Amino acid sequence: MASDNLPSEFDVVILGTGLTESIIASACSRVGQKVLHIDRRNYYSSKWAGFNFNSLLSWIEEYKSQQGSQSTEDEAEWRKTLEDGEEVLPLSADDSFITNLEVSCYASLEAEEEVKENEEATETLSPAAPSPTEPEEETKGKGEGESSPDVTQETTTSGETQHTQEDGGCGVQEEGASQDAGQSEEIEQKEQQEDTTAGPPSSAKEVKKKKITYADLVKEGRRFNIDLVSKLIYSRGSLVDLLIQSKVSRYTEFKIVTRILTYRQGRVEQVPCSRADVFASKQLTMVEKRMLMKFLTFCLDFEQHPEEYQEVSDQPFWEFLQTKKLTENLQHFVLHSIAMVTKETCTEDGLKATQHFLRCLGRYGNTPFLFPLYGLGEIPQCFCRMSAVFGGIYCLRHSVQCLVVDKETNGCKAVIDTQGQRISCSHFVVEDSFVRQRWKNTEEGHISRAVLITDRSVLPADSDQQISLLTAPPLEPGGPAVHVVELCSSSMTCMPGTFLVHLTCSSKGTAREDLESLIAQMFYVPPSPGEELAEGDERSGRPTVMWAMYFNMLDISRMDGSNGFDLPSNVHVCTGPDVNLGCDYSVKLAEKIFRQLLPEEEFCPPAPDPEDIIYEGVAPQGEGSGFEENPKTEGSPLQSEADGLENHPESEKEAAEVEAPIQETPKEALKEDASPSEE
Amino acid sequence: MAGGSVTECKEYLFKVLVIGELGVGKTSIIKRYVHQLFSQHYRATIGVDFALKVINWDSKTLVRLQLWDIAGQERFGNMTRVYYKEAVGAFVVFDVTRGSTFEAVAKWKHDLDSKVKLANGSPIPSVLLANKCDQKKDSSNNASLMDNFCKETGFLGWFETSAKENINVDEAARSLVEHILQNDKGLPYEESNGDRVRLEQDPATAESKSGCC
Ligand SMILES: Cc1cc2nc3c(=O)[nH]c(=O)nc-3n(C[C@H](O)[C@H](O)[C@H](O)COP(=O)(O)OP(=O)(O)OC[C@H]3O[C@@H](n4cnc5c(N)ncnc54)[C@H](O)[C@@H]3O)c2cc1C
Ligand SMILES: Nc1nc2c(ncn2[C@@H]2O[C@H](COP(=O)(O)OP(=O)(O)OP(=O)(O)O)[C@@H](O)[C@H]2O)c(=O)[nH]1
Ligand SMILES: [Mg+2]
């Protein structure tokens, strides 16, 4: 809160709080470097940021108002601090990385009052004012009460607003605020109901479901966490390893991705990938089950069987699959949903991808993937917190306008921040969008993204709390394959009763051009807000889109770190995120840059565990509280702290609540003897 | 728990934030409460982001209180969401010998309420601590003013504390925990977050990484 001046000397100055920059910040602070970590925006995570619905609308507004406006910095005081032999290298004032942003609202814009009246009618059916922690019976009773009156509350107010917005959202923010608390409780109730009743499938409930309006989305806006970047985390990937090893994992929890889906011939199907799935699958015949098990078992240790693939290892994987006695159905599953590669990928890479997928299975759950609670935008912040705990200094709404470069050595000696303060540093680490004009070549790619808020899952199941990954193969040859991640409310990224759907692909055109037709096939996109489907329409089973956003994101991950830039050698550029599903690119880049910065130092060693410091009641003072005055300063205070903690008895450690992952190694999951006996 | 004849002990884990201006005594209060320690001058304490206090609340209730200090380094900008995430209570601390730290209380409280809410949307319970009361010069008692201030700003209440003399620190904590428990009735930690995953090194990984498979 206090706004002191920043100190003027650091070892490392880092601009941008995306994943790569944040990992570097925590790695450097952890080994005792003095780190200044700043971001031009007023939020953490840069390109990786996640916003609640209302801040996303403001972010969109801001994005639009910034289009075209250029701030011109005055020649200023700081010039006087320049010495002989120093020159100035300006950074981009425009660091935008988003293009073609479009927002559309399809949820009903119906006036509040009508909804409220209706609610009050149902409200009277439930006895006391419900509290969120009420026992189950109450909520059930309420659910039934709801069923009676309100099917026809949908009125046509759609005429009053254009649904495709140039001004971001539908401008109902004020309306949202004027609503009373009744509705929020109602939603609370639904959440409970959904959580507790695992039983009846959605169909019965759907009839009772109250229509969610745009005002509801705004009112419950804080329940959304909408990420700009959509990725999943491989349970045996480099990010999981890093989180565990560094103990940054203490700052966050995850949900397991529960289903892998595929989209084929207009149908969404679940892909069986674990042994249990394969045998439970209703789509596969017995023969197919055997074939698939045999093939997957081979993939798990394919290196042991060179005779099976070596001759064709650089031929397309797709052709290889066709020689493998797999039905077309299975070939499709393996290529698109398990290996998740294209038809052109070579056999060896395809096998490796399949193997990686299989190895990740069963570590934490039935699919290879995890998703962070509250969204991916949490992850960079976890690393920032770790950096701050180890002395990193944080400052948002603060940027660097230029670098001070020594002409002779071509090294960056200092940066000039946006306040005109000169801050010296030995290394400068920067997010790629600030140095766009320093590219040596202009090979730039883009990622096409769409974000949808929908009213039901693309594949309803017994429990609607599913997190699904769907890989949609190109609709036409040469088109992009699309990753679709569907999140439910228990992932803490959307309000109960809604789903948040992220679509991602490599750009061929604008995001809308790339993704609109797939969306039109898989979802119902109302022609005007709130418009419902006619009875018996072929689209009637599909999720309805309530709100949609399209944008393209710059992707220069192919530039490969700093090599593609014309910059001093101690300036390190964090490119990415890339278009791939996992986070591995950004994690590996962080480690690579860290090794360039501090080749001698360990990368993210474990932080001492605060849980190890437990004092019960009035405990006598002794060793290693971690807080006491430690006369050993300067030298390596970190190490001495850590050592003290490690000496603590194991028994205390065990007191910490640890949820052990489901232990089932992939090998066991796919044992040879996997005869279909358990059916 | 079924068939457990002896104790049916409920265990809670509560994350509590300790915020306030520079040097008001946040870390001292935590140290006093958790470690029964006080010191006039501190060396930099680095690498510790929360302290854990285990309270045997009553014969059936065990409370594990995580007290999250702000990293002094976050003072220039916003704290990360990680800091606020899933907190269920807070202490806002000011220094009775420095008026400016009291003036900042409302700002901290506002920041707190804008960043974290309980699941039902209401602000998290918070208690105001008027620290360093051992150094208070004028004994002018403006208790009613403080009461009013708490009402207006949304604090449960306030305590004059001294980390140095160990005045009211336990009392303040008890009052906050009591409130949190009321909010939280029937939702022990384990049960409410059943299907969430924490990442931990699993022994099998360590082995399988090195070889065979
Ligand atoms: C969770 C956490 C808790 C911490 N708690 C303490 C603590 O209780 N006491 C402590 O000394 N350090 C604490 N630190 C470390 C502290 O923030 C500084 O890193 C440390 O004091 C070194 O200060 P500095 O002058 O090198 O740098 P900086 O952190 O850059 O200090 C910036 C300015 O603030 C002043 N300053 C820093 N800390 C204090 C303080 N506690 N009181 C008054 N002025 C201060 C410095 O003198 C300097 O003028 C904590 C760090 C973390 C992450
Ligand atoms: N007399 C007196 N001094 C106190 C008391 N509490 C803290 N102090 C002193 O106040 C100074 C600052 O205390 P800290 O606990 O470091 O304060 P802090 O809020 O953690 O400070 P930052 O982390 O820098 O924001 C130290 O010198 C303490 O000894 C108290 O109750 N009485
Ligand atoms: Mg402190």
| Mean pLDDT, residues A575-596 taken together | 95
- Write out chain B residues lying below 8 Å of A617, CB-based: 56
CB nearest B76 (choices: A4, A373, A642): A4
Question: How deeply is A124 buried, as exposed, middle or buried, from its count of CB atoms within 10 A (0-12, 13-18, 19+)?
Answer: exposed
Smallest CA–CA distance, residue B144 to chain A, in Å, is: 27
The answer to whether the CB atoms of B111 and A394 lie below 8 A apart is: no
Residues of chain B positioned with their CB less than 8 A from the CB of A659: 196-198, 200
Which residues of chain B does A371 touch, with a Cβ-Cβ cutoff of 8 Å? none
C-alpha distances (whole Å) from A378 to each of A620, B74, B82, B193, B201 are: 38, 17, 7, 18, 21
A133 closest CA partner among B183, B176, B196: B183
For residues A473-490, give the mean pLDDT: 91
For residues B160 and B130, is the Cβ–Cβ distance under 8 A? Answer: yes
- Whether A491 and A50 have beta carbons less than 8 Å apart is answered as no
CATH code, domain carrying A349:
1.10.405.10
- At residue A192, the pLDDT reads 44
Q: Compare CB distances from B202 to A388, A637, A663 and report the shortest one's residue.
A: A663
Q: What is the nearest CA distance from A575 to chain B, expressed in angstroms?
A: 23
Q: How many residues are present in chain B?
A: 213
Instruction: Output A495 or A160, whichever has higher pLDDT.
Output: A495
**A67-98: string of b/e by CB count within 10 Å (b at 16+)?**
eeeeeeeeeeebeeeeeeeeeebebeebbebb
Backbone angles phi, psi at A525, to 5 degrees: -105, 105
Q: Which atom of ligand 1 is nearest to the CA of A391?
A: 19
Rounded distance from Cα A610 to ligand 1 centre (Å): 19
- Rounded distance between C-alpha atoms, residue A126 and residue A460, angstroms: 29
* Selected residue with higher pLDDT from A263 and B139: A263
Minimum distance, in Å, between the CA of residue A534 and any CA atom of chain B: 37
**Ligand 2 atom 1 nearest Cα:** B132
Please, what sign has the CA dihedral across residues B76, B78, B81, B84? positive
Closest CA to A472 of A210, A318, A224, A263: A263
Record: contact B85-A630, CB cut-off 8 A: no
For the cut 60, the answer to whether the pLDDT of residue A285 exceeds it is yes
**Could you say which of A374, A617, A627 has the minimum Cβ distance to residue B31?**
A627
Q: How many CB contacts within 8 angstroms connect chain A with chain B?
A: 196
> What pLDDT score was predicted for residue A564?
78
Confidence (pLDDT) at A440: 74
**Sign of dihedral through CA atoms A584, A586, A587, A588?**
positive
pLDDT band at residue B76 under the 50/70/90 scheme: low
**A125: Cβ contacts below 8 Å, ≥ 6 apart:** A141, A142, A145, A146
Q: Is A496 helix (H, G, I), strand (E, B) or coil?
A: coil
pLDDT of residue B7: 58
- Tell me the helices (H) and strands (E) count for chain B, helix number first: 8, 6
Residue with tokens 């336990």: B170
Q: Which residue has the higher pLDDT, A148 or A33?
A: A33
Torsion angle of the four alpha carbons A106, A111, A116, A118, in this order, in degrees rounded to the nearest 10: -80
Identity of the residue numbered B43:
R
Least confident of A28-32, A59-63, A339-343, B44-48: B44-48
Which of A47-61, A70-84, A407-421 is predicted with the least confidence, judged by mean pLDDT? Answer: A70-84
Does residue B164 line the site of ligand 2, with CB under 6 A?
Answer: yes
Residue A562 lies in a domain: no
What span, in angstroms and rounded, lies between the C-alpha atoms of B207 and B213?
10
| Structure-model confidence comparison of residues A149 and B60, the more confident one | B60
Residues in B closer than 8 angstroms to A223, CB to CB, are none
What's the gap in Å between the CA of A477 and the closest CA on chain B? Answer: 38
Tell me B78's DSSP state: P
Judge: B197–A659 Cβ closer than 8 Å, yes or no: yes
Domain count for chain A:
1
Domain contains A32: no
Interchain CB distance below 8 Å, A390 and B39: no
CB A632 within 8 A of CB A640: yes
Q: Residue B93: pLDDT above 60?
A: yes
How many C-beta neighbours within 10 Å does residue A156 have?
13
Give residue for tokens 């046509």: A156
pLDDT at A661 over 60: no
Interface test with A, best of B198, B202, B208, B210 (most A CBs within 10 A): B198
Tokens found for residue A72:
């011109």
- Model confidence at A111, pLDDT cuts 50, 70, 90, reads low
Dist CA B55 CA B177 (whole Å): 10
CB contact under 8 A, B73 and A256: no
DSSP for residue A597: H
* Residue A131 included in any domain: no
Tokens of A211: 């229509």
Amino acid letter, residue A4:
D
CA distance A637 to chain B (A): 8
Query: What pLDDT shows up at residue B2?
Result: 44
Is the separation of the CB atoms in A150 and A84 below 8 Å?
no
Hey, which of A104-118, B1-15, B87-101 has the most confident mean pLDDT? B87-101
The domain of A304 spans 271-366
pLDDT at A279: 83
* DSSP assignment letter at A523: S
Catalogue the E-assigned strands of B88-189: 89-95, 126-131, 157-160
A345 lies in some domain: yes
Is residue B87 within 8 Å of residue B124, measured between CB atoms? yes
Q: Which is nearest to B92 in space by CA: B142, B152, B24, B180?
A: B24
Rg of the Cα atoms in chain B: 20
Contact call for A618 and B36, based on CB within 8 A: yes
Pocket residues for ligand 1 (CB within 6 Å)? A 7, 389, 391, 393; B 22-23, 27, 42, 44-45, 49, 69, 71-73
CB contact under 8 A, B71 and A255: no
User: How far apart are the C-alpha atoms of A395 and A36, rounded to whole Å?
Assistant: 8
Residue A511 has pLDDT above 50, yes or no: yes
**pLDDT at residue B179, rounded to an integer:** 93
Give the residue among B153, B181, B5 at the shortest CA–CA distance from B92.
B153
* pLDDT value at B133 more than 90: yes
Domain limits of chain B?
Answer: 10-185
Cα(A575)–Cα(A590) distance, integer angstroms: 10
Residue A553 clears pLDDT 80, i.e. is over it: yes
Distance from Cα B41 to the centre of ligand 2, integer Å: 8
Q: In angstroms, what is the span from residue B72 Cα to ligand 1's centroid?
A: 5
- Answer left, alpha or beta for residue A626, where phi above 0 means left and psi between -120 and 50 means alpha: left
Per-residue confidence band for A5, with pLDDT thresholds at 50, 70 and 90: confident
Residue A662: is its pLDDT beyond 70? no
pLDDT digits (tens, 9 = 90+) for A442-455: 667 899 999 999 99
What is the residue-averaged pLDDT of chain A?
Answer: 78
CA distance A637 to B45: 9
Q: Report the pLDDT value the prediction gives residue A613, as an integer from 0 to 100.
A: 54
- Ligand 1 centre and the CA of A24: distance in Å? 22
Is residue A89 assigned to a domain?
A: no
* Helix, strand, coil share of chain B (percent; to 5): 35, 25, 40
Question: Taking residues B38-67, what's their average pLDDT?
Answer: 82
**Residues whose CB is less than 8 angstroms from the CB of residue A635 and which lie 6 or more positions away in sequence, other chains included:** none
Minimal Cβ distance to B199: which of A132, A243, A616: A243
Which of A4, A634, A638 is the pocket-test mutation for ligand 1 (most atoms within 8 Å of CB)? A4
Integer-rounded Cα radius of gyration of chain A: 27
Residue type at A274 in one-letter notation? S
Identify whether the C-beta of residue A373 lies closer than 8 Å to the C-beta of residue A491. yes
Is A351 contained in some domain? yes
Name the pTM for this structure. 0.78
Report the CATH number of the B10-185 domain. Answer: 3.40.50.300
pLDDT higher than 80, residue A121: no
Cα nearest neighbour of B185 on chain A: A133
Best CA proximity match to B25, nearest among B113, B100, B92: B92
What ipTM, to 2 d.p.? 0.84
Question: A209-218, A423-432, B69-78, B169-178 — which is least confidently predicted?
Answer: B69-78
CB contact under 8 A, B76 and A394: yes
